[in-house]
């Protein structure tokens, strides 16, 4: 049947000239257009909503007053951060009411380049979850680290007309925009007719005006009310982030009012399996917003029609004639427990269980990515070149850090860890090309009294990152991560206490969520057993190499000042 024939059929059936496929009877519709909840029966033909009313139907479900809401949309996330293969992610978030996500695959792109993007597209086909992608804008994120690939505007050209690629992902290289870097401007030009996402923490004043004027339309990096308000005033959509590592909802919800709420929406950015199980996905964010005083209708708008409108998803985000029948049936508007979830009119989840069989094939093209030259990475010694040192201060529940200047503990001419003052060593080891590049710094905030923790998830280049109380355990942990094909490891006294293999690009598992969650729990508990007090030690560790985020970070190339965008010596004064 041609598309014109489909439209003609829908027109006729909407007028009662034939039965619909499904009638969801006696529901209460959460109408994100009119801002009301009204009693109605919802009619579906094929994958589309036909209308409201008591239509003749081939199949009827009596909802007995339950709520009908549009399926939730996550407007910005990195699927890789769930550590789950895409089908497994879908299996777990669909029963929670998430029916669409807009993903930035720059994690796997930093490891595998275009091949990683193709993998994300192919592995997300045919799921009960609509997976849209934004094309990574900054691979590598900066020239100050070694990634597995580089993406230029010429790599983007073949993808610009792909219907599932909605535009250019978070433009974190805002200095490149402001300085008119030709390659950055060429990337913007490729997607000029689509959506351009932003990433500009702390940018303000005339510099922010210039950034927005380049076509950037959103930001998910606001951490305080003044920053978000300034960006909103300039026309940016504010993505209110509440993930595993960065939690900004408490700070930003006061921004939202009846006039501007349509320009704000919720995103997870990065969420690990434990949080998905314990707190939910988008339903958890909406629930939290409601508990903090946001009207339930407004909160649901911020997880449905608002992101759909921004990303120009014309047939998603609402329950209305012609819209795709992505529907979540809610028992109430407080806990937001999903009784049923429909994807294109098909029941795909019920009572918390996905009804679709979703195998997880392990694609060999995205494995075997740990290539470390251990002959050059022999130790983590730091020769003392002064008595005072720059120290990275990790901040709980944030991806930003602070820069400290402290007295070093020196022994036999070497800077060593100082566990009573919580000054530990941190190292980043290049793992893509076997170059042997690595660097060592100092960090406070992890609290380890002994042992070490390491992982291959280290935004954005995803080299091996390790923190420890002694050099030997650091080396054992880093080597274990490499030997299992990527993942996480905790060591003490030369022994591996716990591990989580992530063989897909060193970022994702090929195992079910339940197994990944159990392994994540074990490595997290093992880290806490070493003295770490962080709620999510590995999530925090993964951001300690992210140079676009202030203030001090470490890459395989050295210690980096993210305020002045330059490398600094471990011994350099302010």
3-state secondary structure 444-483: ECCCCCCCEEEECCCCCCCCEEEEECCHHHHHHHHHHHHH
- Phi and psi at residue 65, to the nearest 5°: 90, 5
Closest CA to 527 of 555, 507, 499, 485: 499
Q: What is the CATH number of domain 71-317?
A: 3.20.20.140
Q: Dig out the tokens for 26 from the structure.
A: 């006696």
Cα–Cα separations (whole angstroms), residue 100 to 35, 71, 511 = 22, 7, 22
In the chain, CATH 3.20.20.140 covers 71-317
Backbone region of residue 544 per phi and psi (left: phi > 0; alpha: psi in -120 to 50; beta: other values): alpha
Task: Give 3-state DSSP helix, strand, coil % of the chain, rounded to 5.
Answer: 30, 30, 40
Q: Which helix H or strand E contains 198, and what residues bound it?
A: strand 195-198
Contacts 24+ apart (CB under 8 A), 474-478: 474/380, 474/425, 474/427, 475/379, 475/380, 476/452, 477/451, 477/452, 477/453, 478/377, 478/427, 478/429, 478/454
Kindly state the DSSP code that residue 94 receives in the 8-state scheme: G
Alpha-carbon Rg for the chain, nearest whole angstrom, is: 24
Q: Give the separation between CA 96 and CA 299, rounded to whole angstroms.
A: 16
Cα–Cα separations (whole angstroms), residue 467 to 428, 502, 540 = 9, 19, 11
Q: What is the pLDDT of residue 574?
A: 62
Q: Give the separation between CA 449 and CA 446, rounded to whole angstroms.
A: 9
Residue ranges of the chain whose pLDDT lies below 70 = 574
Q: Which helix H or strand E contains 97, and what residues bound it?
A: none
Q: Dig out the tokens for 129 from the structure.
A: 């979850």
- Phi and psi at residue 152, to the nearest 5°: -110, 170
**In the Cβ-directed half-sphere of 42, how many Cα atoms lie within 13 Å?**
33
Return all residues near 297 (Cβ < 8 A) that are at least 6 apart. 30, 32, 35, 36, 37
Q: What is the pLDDT of residue 143?
A: 87
199: three-class secondary structure by DSSP: coil
């Amino acid at each position: 049947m041609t598309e014109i024939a489909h439209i003609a059929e829908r027109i006729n059936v909407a007028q009662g000239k034939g039965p619909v496929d499904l009638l969801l009877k006696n529901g209460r519709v959460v109408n994100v257009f009119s801002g009301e909840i009204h009693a109605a029966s919802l009619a579906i033909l094929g994958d589309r909503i036909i209308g409201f009313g008591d239509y003749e139907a081939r199949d009827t479900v009596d909802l007995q007053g339950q709520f009908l809401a549009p399926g939730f949309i996550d407007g910005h996330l990195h699927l890789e951060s769930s550590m789950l293969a895409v089908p497994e992610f879908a299996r777990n978030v669909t029963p929670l009411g998430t029916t669409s996500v807009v993903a930035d695959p720059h994690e796997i792109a930093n490891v595998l380049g275009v091949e990683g993007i193709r993998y994300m597209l192919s592995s997300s086909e045919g799921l009960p979850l609509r997976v849209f992608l934004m094309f990574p804008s900054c691979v590598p994120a900066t020239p100050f680290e070694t990634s597995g690939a580089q993406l230029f505007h010429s790599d983007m050209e073949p993808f610009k007309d792909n219907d599932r690629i909605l535009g250019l992902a978070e433009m974190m290289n805002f200095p490149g925009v402001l300085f008119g870097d030709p390659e950055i401007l060429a990337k913007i030009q490729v997607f000029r007719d689509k959506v351009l996402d932003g990433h500009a923490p702390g940018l303000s004043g005339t510099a922010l005006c210039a950034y927005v004027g380049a076509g950037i339309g959103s930001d998910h990096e606001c951490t305080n009310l003044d920053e978000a308000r300034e960006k909103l005033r300039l026309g940016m959509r504010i993505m209110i982030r509440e993930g595993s590592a960065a939690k900004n909802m408490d700070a930003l919800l006061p921004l939202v009012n009846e006039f501007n709420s349509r320009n704000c929406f919720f995103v997870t950015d990065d969420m690990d399996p434990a949080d998905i199980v314990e707190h939910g996905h988008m339903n958890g964010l909406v629930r939290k917003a409601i508990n903090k005083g946001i009207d339930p209708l407004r909160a649901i708008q911020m997880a449905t029609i608002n992101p759909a409108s921004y990303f120009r998803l014309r047939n998603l985000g609402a329950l209305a004639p012609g819209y795709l029948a992505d529907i979540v049936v809610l028992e109430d508007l407080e806990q937001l427990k999903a009784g049923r979830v429909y994807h294109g009119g098909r029941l795909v989840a019920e009572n918390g269980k996905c009804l679709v069989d979703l195998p997880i094939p392990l694609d060999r093209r995205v494995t075997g990515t740990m290539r470390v030259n251990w002959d050059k990475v022999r130790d983590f010694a730091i020769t003392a070149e002064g008595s005072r040192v720059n120290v990275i201060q990790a901040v709980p529940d944030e991806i930003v850090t602070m820069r400290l200047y402290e007295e070093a503990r020196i022994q036999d001419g070497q800077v060593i860890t100082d566990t009573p003052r919580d000054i530990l060593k941190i190292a980043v080891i290049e793992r893509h090309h076997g170059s042997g590049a690595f660097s060592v710094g100092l960090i406070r905030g992890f609290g380890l009294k002994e042992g070490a923790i390491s992982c291959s998830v280290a935004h954005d280049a995803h080299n091996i990152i390790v923190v420890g109380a002694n050099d030997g355990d650091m080396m054992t942990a880093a080597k274990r991560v490499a030997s299992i094909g990527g993942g996480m490891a905790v060591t003490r006294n030369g022994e591996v206490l716990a591990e989580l293999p992530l063989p897909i690009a060193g970022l994702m598992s090929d195992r079910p969520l339940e197994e990944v969650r159990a392994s994540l729990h074990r490595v997290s508990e093992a880290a806490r057993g070493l003295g770490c007090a962080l709620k999510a030690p590995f999530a925090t560790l993964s951001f300690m190499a992210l140079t676009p985020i202030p203030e001090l970070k470490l890459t395989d190339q050295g210690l980096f000042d993210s305020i002045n965008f330059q490398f600094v010596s471990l011994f350099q004064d302010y």
